[in-house]
Amino acid sequence: MTQLWDFSGGIHPPEHKAISTARPIRSASVPDYLVLPLQQHIGEPAEAIVEVGERVLKGQKIADVKTGMGVPVNAPTSGVIESIADLPVPHPSGMTDRCITLKSDGEDQWCQRNPVKDYRSLERDQVLQIIRDAGISGMGGAGFPTNIKLRPPRDRKVSTLILNGAECEPYITADDMTMREKADEVVAGLKIMAWILRPERCVIGIEDNKPEAIAALQKATEGTQTEIAVIPTKYPSGGEKQLIQILTGMEVPSGGIPADIGVMCQNIGTAVAVAKAVFEGTPLISRVVTITGEAVREPGNFEALIGTPIEHLLEQAGVNQNAVSRLVLGGPMMGYTLTTEAVPVIKTTNCVIAATAAELPAPSPEQPCIRCGQCAEACPMELLPQQLFWHAKATEFEKAEHLNLFDCIECGACSYVCPSSIPLVQYYRFAKGEIRAQQAEQLKADRARERFEARQARLEREQQEKELRRQERAKAAAKAAAKKQAEAEKAAAEGAAVDERAAKSALVEQALARKKAKAEASRQPAASEPPAEEKPDIEALEKQLSQAQSKLETMQGMLDDAKAQQADNVEKLERAVAKNHDRVKRAEEALAEARQQLAAGPTESQPTH
């Protein structure tokens, strides 16, 4: 027999469970429209991967989390995407969030599924990917993605796997009826998770007020090493940390997680979803929801598609709208009042209570604390609710956090026993929210500061690199300028003088040739034909001009570089350029004159009579 321990505190509120266990689980009809929020679990919201007007099949992935922690959303039935807009969602704030609205076509046509007969033939990562693609998240609490939870850190070996079938909160019977009617699927899902984790011990914890579920699971686990631990009925024995303490005697450290002590808890509904995903290839598109309360004629549990409006389920249970005084999503201890029936069923929805005024009367006005200490006696986490209340009310959040405010599981036991009707849990939730907001702002400021410091360091580094490159360029430019200056001085001293003398010599020779030709012509008789003049050497003149122009271009380039570098030899190069300009001009004139002389040709003398 499994050894059991106890946890401090706890209460025994009226159960009200028999209201919804008289009938077997019923399948809710498919509504005309399904509203599928993109945020149904802890982590990043999914992003729509379909467009308005697109037809989708049952089970088809319509939204996914591309980065970060999260799981996809699958179409619960076949139909057409009606809209992607902000709509009311199940949340205590009553605010809207991004949702996909799917209009059912009534055909309920499945997409292709890939069931696995022998999951042991696959790698563990492959099975975890199947669980992830099925969109499975925890179905009993905040909705932590199951594939991530089943992959604990390597340094945290899970030695005990617990399946939480306690379902301790009043009114809720979804897990109870699931264990009664789907015990084989529950055990099948547990086996898959045990194969992934390889724990030394597997145990299913059930409160002793569920004899039918206990008998069904005992039969389903015959021949296995899975333990069925029947625990005393006390609220909140179904809390993760409390159930671990009952079954193992160990306490989860403050601020820690069960994996820190080698334990993991999973929900009954999660186990069924894992079994369906692996053996049937069916994603998480439906869940069991308890519809109860004195304002419904046929209370019970319904297998409802994810996205089904609450009002549709209330109609299935025969709600009397005139008798409804308060609509609670979840249980009376940890649930919250709904402001509209239009909110949909999501993966973590387990119960809706349509209560009359007599059943759940309005809370009494808050009175001053009388310091009776009952809240501290009832607290299962052994906190100091009275001091937490004072600090939260005085907005002394740092002091409240110092008193382990975040260890509070918000079970509501303190509020239940308070004779002054102080809504203690609401104060704690307010304080937690404010602390999280402050931490988010601080984190945002820290990240902004880190980005600023990184930017400043980058700018300084770039400035240093830029200065270093500038110095290297200046050094290279100075070296090049010195080299060019030496070449320029040498060219100005040698090349310019040689070219100038050559040009002058050509001009002198041409002038002497013309004078000689004229002298010879004057000595010949008038009647005789003058001898042909010596033709000018055009080719030599063109070559001289080309050399002069080339030299001018070279000197001009050296001058431009020297000006850009602000060298000391600018004036000297300017004089050299001016001289080369004159040389080019003289060479052009000499060439032009020679060409003109060549074009005129020898003139014939006229005969005399």
Residue 334 has pLDDT above 50, yes or no: yes
Rounded to 10 deg, the angle between the 538-565 and 424-523 helix axes is 150
What band does 565 get if pLDDT is binned at 50, 70 and 90? confident
Q: Which of 244, 169, 236, 234 is nearest to 205 (CA)?
A: 244
The confidence score (pLDDT) of residue 603 equals 47
Q: How far apart are the first and last CA of the chain?
A: 160
Q: For tokens 């040498």, what's the residue?
A: 490
pLDDT tier at 606, thresholds 50, 70, 90 = very low
Distance CA 236, CA 135 (A): 28
Dist CA 594 CA 582 (whole Å): 18
- Could you give the CA distance from residue 278 to residue 355 in angstroms, rounded to a whole number? 38
Q: Determine the pLDDT at residue 609.
A: 44
Residue 194, token pair as written in the block: 């045990």
Mean pLDDT of 228-242: 95
Which whole number is the average pLDDT over 14-18?
Answer: 95
DSSP 250-281: --PPTT--GGGGTEEEEEHHHHHHHHHHHHT-
- Band the pLDDT of 501: cuts 50, 70, 90: low
Q: State the pLDDT confidence band at 136, using cuts at 50, 70 and 90.
A: very high
Range from 199-208, 262-271, 482-491 carrying the lowest mean pLDDT: 482-491
The yes-or-no verdict on residue 524 having pLDDT over 80 is no
Across the range 162-179, mean pLDDT stands at: 96
Spatial separation of the C-alpha atoms in residues 52 and 58, rounded to whole Å: 17
Residue 575 has pLDDT above 90, yes or no: no
Which amino acid, 526? A
Q: What residue numbers does the annotated binding site cover?
A: 369, 372, 375, 379, 408, 411, 414, 418
What integer pLDDT is reported at residue 1 of this predicted model? 58
Cis bond leading into 236, ω under 30°? Answer: yes
- Please give the domain boundaries of the chain with CATH numbers for all domains: 26-301 (3.40.50.11540), 302-355 (no CATH), 372-469+541-598 (no CATH)
State the pLDDT at residue 239. Answer: 93
- 375-420 pLDDT, tens per residue? 999 999 999 999 999 999 999 999 999 999 999 999 999 999 999 9
What's the rounded Cα separation, in Å, for the pair 57 and 109? 6
What is the residue-averaged pLDDT of the chain? 90
Nearest CA among 227, 255, 218, 231 for reference residue 161: 227
Mean pLDDT to the nearest integer, 490-516: 68
Residue 521 has pLDDT above 80, yes or no: no
Indicate whether 297 pLDDT > 70.
Answer: yes
Instruction: Confirm if 286 and 306 have CB atoms less than 8 A apart.
Output: yes
Bridge-based pairing state of the strands 160-165 and 263-267: parallel
Distances (CA, A) of 469 to 275, 460, 463, 475, 479: 65, 14, 10, 10, 15
**pLDDT of residue 572 exceeding 60:** yes
CB neighbours (10 Å) of residue 483? 10
Q: Please, which residues have CB within 8 angstroms of residue 68's CB and are 6 or more apart in sequence?
A: 43, 44
**Per-residue pLDDT averaged across 246-273, rounded?**
94
Longest dimension (CA), the chain: 160
Asked which of 51-60, 257-266, 277-286, 545-554 is least confident by mean pLDDT, the reply is 545-554
Of 233 and 538, which is predicted with more confidence? 233
Round to whole Å and give the CA distance between 13 and 235: 7
Q: What would the pLDDT profile of 89-123 be if each residue is shown by its tens digit?
A: 998 888 899 999 999 999 999 999 999 999 999 99
Binding residues for [4Fe-4S] cluster: 369, 372, 375, 379, 408, 411, 414, 418
- Crossing angle for the helix pair 268-279 and 183-197, nearest 10 degrees? 80
Q: For residue 2, which amino acid is it?
A: T
For residues 273-289, average pLDDT: 97
